[in-house]
Structure 1
Amino acid sequence: MPEDDLLTRDMAHAPGQNQAVPPEVATPGHAMVVGVLAALAGLMFGLDTGVIAGALRFIGTDFDASPRTQEWIVSSMMAAAAVGSLIAGTISFRFGRRRALLGSSILFLAGSLISALAPSVAMLILGRIFLGFAVGIAAFTAPLYISEVSAVAQRGSMIACYQLMMTGGIFLSYVTDGVLANGAHWRWMLGLMTVPATVFLIGCLFLPDSPRWLMMRGERLRARKVMRYLRATPQQADREISDIATELTRGRSEGFTFFRHNANFRRSVGLGIVLQVMQQLTGINVLMYYAPKVFQAANFGASAAGWATALIGLINLVATCVAIVTVDRWGRRPLLLLSCAIMTGSMLLAGGLVEYGGHDTVAQIAMVGSLLVFVLGFAIGAGPLVWTLCAEIQPLRGRDFGIVCSTFTNWATNWAVSNTFLSVLDTLGEAHTFWLFSGMNALFIAITLFYVPETKGVSLEDLESHLLAGWPLRDLGARTLPQGGKVSTNPSP
């Protein structure tokens, strides 16, 4: 019997809508499979982020590109990603999360082909712009989609899976760059990205629409059908549909209108923006985009710099696996605080080694060690958890707008850092640049202590209820308002 008929039969014969459905409809693993398919967007993000690090020196030689031109080749993708993240909200809201991911997969494929075949710097930048649009749309949509299809107990791990895919993509691109570096085959480095782009495109064809998006469109029957597909029992699915419906009845202001009229929504948007700025100011993308140059500036040979860069990618991947295992056990705040503390100390040490450590083998090994510890610190907390939190703290009827703001901020800050790093490095010197990033990470600790909530095990609907009731940001995940906590005034939407 078709699923539509099965659903209609259930609803007709069960006023409570809690009749059992066949095992093939109610399989707990479906949500995980769907989440992993959506997380392939992170793989593409990582591949296109990491591949340029190894290809850049050969591109610079072939096209006789100056350091400033190389900055534009790298940062053009980030600028386009910022624009892509702005239009992603409209695309995701009007056409659905699934179609937004499908569109990004097509852009990934087109951008990879253009970049690999580019006859000039201008055409290469055009290909990078296509990739940037794809990344901007996917980086907005994938964590949002995953947060909306995942069960509460697995939500943190599933969103962190996006970050795992991204770090896996970075590592694979570093390895590919290393294999192809001997022949300076930068076109193959860029062209191989078409293979995972095709896999991602095919995977998107099998994704269901988000039940929360369907509910916002008033398609409760379809939403219930999808939710029953994603949850272990029909009772659990129906309860979530009921919770979503309750949240939607509180008001239907959308996007900027909701932002203008609701002070509490402005608080969650502001926190998302601050978290994304701080993530980029940790210094992580300096290593992702320019790792070989950083190591060569620290007196590493070209070959040694390449191996050190690949090792960074491996540590990033392994540590992200640790984050996925622990995020729903330890919680967001403890991991984020530990992450920021590790990054603060390792950047402080790296600057000291450059300034006072000398140029012998011991100093070089210590330098690699400090940067590996930095990457480890980022990957267990600031990397996956910022995306997780930004997807969790926004209320349903303003979620698209809120995540657009935070994602745009991520890419705008990413562009600013990647477009100026070589110039900043030349002006301040390597040691002072590392110390600057150390200071930014120390500031991140303070922001986490005072403003970041613990969202582990808390439903999206409860987080929204607490936010719109005016609870302090840090207490949004609490079961009850802590003694002495103050509720802020919230103008009616």
Structure 2
Amino acid sequence: MGIVNEIRQSSRLSLMVAVAAATLGIIYGYDSSNIAGALLFVTDEFSLSVAQQQTVTTSVVIGEIFGALFAGALSNRIGRKSTMVLVAVTYAVFSLLSGLAWAVPVLIAARFLLGLTIGVSVVVVPVFVAESAPAKVRGAFLVLYQVATVVGIILGYLVAWALAAGENWRWMLAAAFIPGVIIALLIAKLPDTARWYAMRGRYDDARRTLERVEPDAAIVDRELAEMREANDSPRQNTWRALVRHPYLRATVFVVGLGFFVQITGINAIVYYSPRIFEAMGFSGNATLLGLPALVQVAGLLAVFLSFSLIDRMGRRPILLTGIGIMVLANGLLVLTFLFGENFGGFLTVLGFVGLILFTVGFTFGFGSLVWVYAGESLPSHLRSLGASAMLTANLMANAAVAAIFLTMLTKLGGGGTFVVFGILALAAFVFVHRLAPETKNRPLEDISSFWENGGKWPAEPAQDDDGAPASASPNGAA
């Protein structure tokens, strides 16, 4: 209950910031899953081939890649808040266009434009929340974005399930207009982040915002002084700085993490769950859309568990545990597809359990921590650009999975497909174990010292119970 009490003690503004920004995850999640339901009926109406189904699904991800590429620069120029309002409004407009599409090219174009808006949001939201939340609850606030994303995924499946009887895919896609408008109105009432104001030289606005988030005047003065120092330093806020010492290691980490989050296959489950359940032997629209919703409910419970533990256990243990569960889940899915026909219903149920474990492992680890690391892995002058690089790599891997998964399922079968994902999950485990920093309870302004010290936190004198200095741990843990 510790994290809940900490959140309750947070200021009203910081709570509003966390909730308002995180709810943008709803539109990201809804768009990820509603296409899974709509595709069942779009395929029949437009007589889509497997390749065309993959193109309709992938078009939004291609748009997300382009959106993520310029999101960092856009949010630095016009502000985090203004960028998020723009995202919500344009998302609402392009959702309506998707529902009105009269031909496949129009549908693909509308979904590409939707992707542009979502690509911007997945970069800007973690930065906005990280820059607005108190350090002691920052991890939990960032996990709220994943909570909202999974809620959106569940909502997308449930809307598709409710409309399946009438095969009304247009309403499935157009219904996203409603949360888009609501979220735009909610975010419009918020100020921008103190760190963005400081970056633009607006220190009076930065102080007013900090005072609304943090009631302790001493902390406000210290954070404002750190922002001034960071802005006055000769550090370069450019893409070139990301690939130079000392931040090259940080860039390798964030880009690699973003890539592994998606290449391990989670959105194959989200986009194509009905097809996977069909391959396992399930049938009927209610079943093919209801079971994926149940899988995501389990994933949502895992996010809440991650939410409650992240600021106590730390980032690394949660991330490594989640990836380990994904490796186990891949093993169960391989068994299901290789031997399911010989054992009948038992292994079909085991396959359902495997999909639940895969989703639980992802949402507990990768799904929750990608947003945390996007907001925490780089110092303020590189945070937006680093988040752009991270989420661009994430979306490129997402596009690859969306574009080839049905082909893999057809050519390799379910067993071969999940062997590939299992190997990638093992590679992700090794990568994270070697490179991921532990940023629990660390001020954002301190992250530069981790990378400048070769990927370790500098030894600092800690205070023992008597107030005397004590040696800090030399490893990556906080």
Q: Residue 465 of structure 1: CA displacement?
A: 2.5
1:307 paired residue among 286, 290, 301: 290
Matched, 1:53 2:21: no
Alignment map for 1:83-482 (pairs within 5 Å): 83-259=66-242, 262-302=244-284, 303-358=286-341, 360-467=344-451, 469-472=452-455, 475-476=456-457, 479=460
Q: Which residue of 1 aligns with 2:469?
A: none
User: 1:57 & 1:137 partners in 2: Cα distance?
Assistant: 28
Q: Which residue of 2 aligns with 1:63?
A: 46
Q: Residue 107 of structure 1: CA displacement?
A: 1.5
**Cα distance per residue 1:455-491 (max 9 Å; x no partner):** 1111111112232x3332xx34975785599xxxxxx
User: 1:47 & 1:307 partners in 2: Cα distance?
Assistant: 15
Contact 2:379 2:446 in 1 (8 A): no
Q: Which residue of 2 aligns with 1:20?
A: none
Q: Which residue of 2 aligns with 1:13?
A: none
**Cα distance per residue 1:205-261 (max 9 Å; x no partner):** 11211111111111111111111111122322222111222222332411224235x
Specify whether residues 95 and 478 from structure 1 end up closer, same or farther in structure 2 by C-alpha distance, changes over 3 A only.
farther
Specify whether residues 445 and 454 from structure 1 end up closer, same or farther in structure 2 by C-alpha distance, changes over 3 A only.
same
For 1:120, the aligned partner's letter is A
Specify whether residues 54 and 483 from structure 1 end up closer, same or farther in structure 2 by C-alpha distance, changes over 3 A only.
closer
Identity of aligned residues (%): 29
Higher mean displacement: 26-35 or 384-393:
26-35
**Cα distance per residue 1:102-125 (max 9 Å; x no partner):** 111122111110001111111111
SS at match of 2:215: coil
**Cα distance per residue 1:73-125 (max 9 Å; x no partner):** 00000000000001111210111111110111122111110001111111111
TM-score, normalization: structure 1? 0.89
Segments of structure 1 that go 5 or more residues without pairing to the other structure are 1-25, 486-493
User: 2:431 & 2:219 partners in 1: Cα distance?
Assistant: 36
Q: Residue 326 of structure 1: CA displacement?
A: 1.1
Contact 2:449 2:458 in 1 (8 A): no
Q: Which residue of 2 aligns with 1:15?
A: none
Q: Residue 307 of structure 1: CA displacement?
A: 2.2
Contact 2:340 2:347 in 1 (8 A): yes
User: 1:423 & 1:484 partners in 2: Cα distance?
Assistant: 44
Specify whether residues 463 and 278 from structure 1 end up closer, same or farther in structure 2 by C-alpha distance, changes over 3 A only.
same
Q: Residue 281 of structure 1: CA displacement?
A: 1.9
Q: Residue 186 of structure 1: CA displacement?
A: 0.7
**Cα distance per residue 1:337-375 (max 9 Å; x no partner):** 110111001111110121013262212111101110111
Contact 1:454 1:478 in 2 (8 A): no
SS at match of 2:246: helix
Segments of structure 2 that go 5 or more residues without pairing to the other structure are 1-8, 462-471
Q: Which residue of 2 aligns with 1:35?
A: 18
Matched, 1:79 2:62: yes
User: 2:369 & 2:17 partners in 1: Cα distance?
Assistant: 20
User: 2:279 & 2:141 partners in 1: Cα distance?
Assistant: 38
For 1:385, the aligned partner's letter is L
RMSD value, Cα: 1.7
User: 2:180 & 2:98 partners in 1: Cα distance?
Assistant: 13
**Cα distance per residue 1:270-300 (max 9 Å; x no partner):** 1100001111122111100000001101111
User: 2:412 & 2:445 partners in 1: Cα distance?
Assistant: 47
Q: Residue 189 of structure 1: CA displacement?
A: 0.8
Contact 1:27 1:229 in 2 (8 A): no
Higher mean displacement: 352-361 or 46-55:
352-361
User: 1:338 & 1:265 partners in 2: Cα distance?
Assistant: 27
Specify whether residues 347 and 390 from structure 1 end up closer, same or farther in structure 2 by C-alpha distance, changes over 3 A only.
same
Q: How many residues align?
A: 456
User: 1:484 & 1:51 partners in 2: Cα distance?
Assistant: 44
